[in-house]
Amino acid sequence: MLNPTERFILRYENNPWVRGKHDCVLFIWKYTSEVHKKPFSDPDDYPFHDLKTAFRALKKICSDNKVRTFEGILDKHYHRVDLPIDGGLVAKPDTEGLTGYTYGISYAGWGFFVGANGIQQLELNPTTDLYWSIT
- Residues 70-102 pLDDT 10s: 999 999 999 999 999 999 999 999 977 778 999
Say whether pTM exceeds 0.85.
Answer: yes
CATH number at residue 19: 3.90.1720
130-133 and 118-123 strand pairing: unpaired
Q: How confident is the model at residue 14, as a pLDDT?
A: 95
Distance CA 36, CA 82 (A): 21
Q: pLDDT below 50 — which residues of the chain?
A: none
Which residues constitute the domain of residue 77?
4-133
State how many domains the chain has: 1
DSSP annotation string for 56-114:
HHHHHHHHHTT-SSHHHHHHHHSEEESS--TTEEEEEE-TTSSSSEEEEEEETTEEEEE
Picking from 105, 82, 109, 92, the residue whose alpha carbon sits closest to that of residue 34 is 105
